[in-house]
Structure 1
Amino acid sequence: MVLINELTARRVRSARKNANLTIKSLSQSSGIKYSTLKRLERGLAAFKLHDIVRLAEPLGVGHDDLIPSSSDLSDGAE
């Protein structure tokens, strides 16, 4: 579970930076509290499916782009 959360956090952070968004602006556009989003991006809180869905649109990516694939998980487990 921790690995999935860390990989998701990396993907969200990367997508946010690629979209040239700050945590504050992403918080406002997604409706997720700033403090919660900071914790999610740092891997200190667990992502829920509705978080992923709410983040995908303002990031300009599909929700499936934010969720690690099984190959990502096996690469991280080695």
Structure 2
Amino acid sequence: MEIIKIHTYLEYAMIGIFLYLLFSLVVPVLPAFYYPGIHVQGETAFLVVIIALSVSLYVNSIAIQRLKAKKRSSVKTN
């Protein structure tokens, strides 16, 4: 049971890290592929990184709340 819990925490953490990397590394570069003349400003990239970090933290908090709720419901049924 303990191994499964650790596995789910790692899984949700990896999803959060993936979202953070996706938004911070891929999204600021996308306009350069579509419009080669446009260069992404440093402030825009910084804002995208901040938004990505907040989204990934929000996703992780939702995941942890679901895990806690699942743990509570499993304790009640046992």
Q: Is the shorter-chain TM-score for this pair beyond 0.5, marking a shared fold?
A: no
- Larger Rg belongs to: 2
More helix by share: 2
TM-score for both structures, normalised by structure 2:
0.32
TM-score for both structures, normalised by structure 1:
0.32
